[in-house]
Amino acid sequence: MIDIFDNFYRGKRVLVTGHTGFKGSWLSIWLYELGAEVIGVAKKPFTECDNYVLSGIGSKIKADIRADICDGERMKQIFAEFQPDIVFHLAAQPLVRLSYEMPVETYATNVMGTINIMEAIRATNNVKVGVMITTDKCYENKEQIWGYRENEPMGGYDPYSSSKGAAEIAIASWRCSFFNSADYGKKHHVSLASVRAGNVIGGGDWALDRIIPDCIKALEAGKDIDIRNPQAIRPWQHVLEPLSGYMLLASKMWKEPTKYCEGWNFGPRAESIVPVWDVATDVIKNYGSGQLNDISTPNTLHEAKLLMLDISKAKFLLGWEPRMNIHQCIALTVDWYKRYKDEDVYALCLEQIETYLAYGK
Ligand SMILES: NC(=O)c1ccc[n+]([C@@H]2O[C@H](COP(=O)([O-])OP(=O)(O)OC[C@H]3O[C@@H](n4cnc5c(N)ncnc54)[C@H](O)[C@@H]3O)[C@@H](O)[C@H]2O)c1
């Protein structure tokens, strides 16, 4: 595999929280292929068709640990045992609609879980880089037509969004209080950043109330695809896009720890910010069959209608930018779902990473 990170990850001990989930499984596969010793910490996978299960990545990595990030002492034990160099913190309750049903659990996982990971980082001497994954929904959403920049206020209407806004505030606080750039090399050796991506699509996601899993489940069952929020406009991106940004950022933080320890947006190109309906239409086109059904009602739970990220900072300061347009992202995603039942899913994931990398040449 082409290594766009110049051999940086080879031999590094990288702890990934949430590696049994959608994004975490792809990140673990990519890191493993680049020669990292991956330590995964998460709860068990959700379904037998999750990318983590089908790819078999759990049996390849150095440690595949089931643990709850709400258990701070357990996190400290794991960090003490495995002494990671780099941490990617992805574990979360990531669903807006579920957060209305489980607001307390959502806050416990997303806010206290994040604090527990930062405390575990603080308790070891090894960790040099921590990349904390939040979301585009952490910003105070003004339904504005411009993309949010990294220095705009945090907020959030629903419990999920506000829990991630709160996590961002906690991360900024830990950076000021314990991992301050001014004290680097004197009181600590940690570079801590937070990263915000858009609506991520890709193979192996079966989460509730996400458009791609909703489409695929309906298509596999031969049913119409019900669309709850057809006009909601989201920044869509393939999972490999933000992951490449997180990995690039971590490599830069390692080399220049006090230069990059802040918040970063890794969103898509402006033309990939389109309504849910258009995405579902493109899914049908790529799948080769299917029918859409508008089921929007005035009583639908509140979800943001318009949400965009400004990615100028990552472009100019990191040299990162999205490689694929929206149609390429959807085509690559649907390709996974058309093939996962008949093929070796690990090989399929590697092929998709190669395809993704070839787009940027
Ligand atoms: N998927 C998206 O569109 C998207 C967009 C922006 C941000 N994010 C963020 O990216 C991260 C990963 O999202 P995803 O879509 O892969 O989610 P996912 O639901 O597929 O995976 C979540 C992972 O977190 C783990 N987890 C949850 N609660 C835990 C706990 N208490 N203790 C230990 N592990 C726990 C799960 O076991 C799983 O491995 C999340 O932080 C999410 O908020 C996702």
> 256-283: per-residue pLDDT in tens?
999 999 999 999 998 999 999 999 999 9
Whole-prediction pTM = 0.97
- State the distance from the centre of ligand 1 to the C-alpha of 99, rounded, in angstroms: 13
**pLDDT(125) > 90:** yes
DSSP string, 52-93: HHHHTGGGTSSEEEE--TT-HHHHHHHHHHH--SEEEE--S-
- Give the pLDDT confidence of 169-220 residue by residue, as tens digits: 999 999 999 999 999 999 999 999 999 998 999 999 999 889 999 999 999 9
- State the distance from the centre of ligand 1 to the C-alpha of 328, rounded, in angstroms: 24
Residue 6 in any domain: the answer is: no
Banded model confidence at residue 254, pLDDT cuts 50, 70, 90? very high
**Structural domain of 119:** 13-359
Minimum-distance ligand 1 atom for the alpha carbon of 94: 43
User: How many domains in the chain?
Assistant: 1
Residue 266 in any domain: the answer is: yes
- Say how far apart CA 135 and CA 3 lie, in whole Å: 26
Pocket test for ligand 1, best of 15, 20, 23 (most atoms within 8 A of CB): 23
Residue 148 in any domain: the answer is: yes
Closest CA to 260 of 199, 198, 325, 313: 313
- State the distance from the centre of ligand 1 to the C-alpha of 54, rounded, in angstroms: 18
Minimum-distance ligand 1 atom for the alpha carbon of 197: 6
Residue 312 in any domain: the answer is: yes
Contact status, residue 154 vs residue 165, Cβ threshold 8 Å:
yes
Closest CA to 18 of 76, 74, 58: 58
Residue 5 in any domain: the answer is: no
Contact status, residue 65 vs residue 78, Cβ threshold 8 Å:
yes
Beta bridge partners of 38: 14
- Say how far apart CA 121 and CA 175 lie, in whole Å: 12
With a Cβ cut-off of 6 Å, ligand 1 is lined by 18, 20-24, 42-43, 68-70, 90-94, 109, 113, 133, 135, 197, 199-200, 207
Residue 44 in any domain: the answer is: yes
Minimum-distance ligand 1 atom for the alpha carbon of 46: 37
Minimum-distance ligand 1 atom for the alpha carbon of 110: 41
Residue 128 has which token pair? 């040099």
Mean pLDDT of 138-166: 94
Give Cα 138 to chain centroid, integer Å.
Answer: 13
Spatial CB neighbours of 313, under 8 Å, sequence gap ≥ 6: 149, 150, 264, 265
Q: How many residues does the chain have?
A: 361
pLDDT of the residue at 232: 86
Sign of CA dihedral 324, 330, 331, 333: positive
What percent of the chain is predicted at pLDDT more than 70?
A: 98
Residue nearest (by alpha carbon) to ligand 1 atom 27: 92
3-class SS letters over 242-275: HHHHHHHHHHHHHHCCCCCCCEEEECCCHHHEEE
- State the distance from the centre of ligand 1 to the C-alpha of 207, rounded, in angstroms: 10
Minimum-distance ligand 1 atom for the alpha carbon of 19: 39
- Give the pLDDT confidence of 311-361 residue by residue, as tens digits: 999 999 999 999 999 999 999 999 999 999 999 999 999 999 999 999 976
For residue 29, how many other CB atoms are within 10 A of its CB?
26
Mean pLDDT of 115-137: 97
Residue nearest (by alpha carbon) to ligand 1 atom 21: 21
Higher-scoring residue by pLDDT: 168, 232:
168
Residue 8 in any domain: the answer is: no
Closest CA to 192 of 246, 265, 262, 88: 262
Residue nearest (by alpha carbon) to ligand 1 atom 18: 21
Minimum-distance ligand 1 atom for the alpha carbon of 52: 39
Residue 146 in any domain: the answer is: yes
SS3 27: helix
Contact status, residue 145 vs residue 307, Cβ threshold 8 Å:
no
Contact status, residue 333 vs residue 188, Cβ threshold 8 Å:
no
Contact status, residue 44 vs residue 6, Cβ threshold 8 Å:
no
Residue 23 has which token pair? 């994004």
For residue 27, how many other CB atoms are within 10 A of its CB?
27
- Give the pLDDT confidence of 2-16 residue by residue, as tens digits: 899 999 999 999 999
- Say how far apart CA 209 and CA 39 lie, in whole Å: 29
Return phi, psi of residue 172, to 5°.
-60, -40
CATH number, domain with residue 113: 3.40.50.720
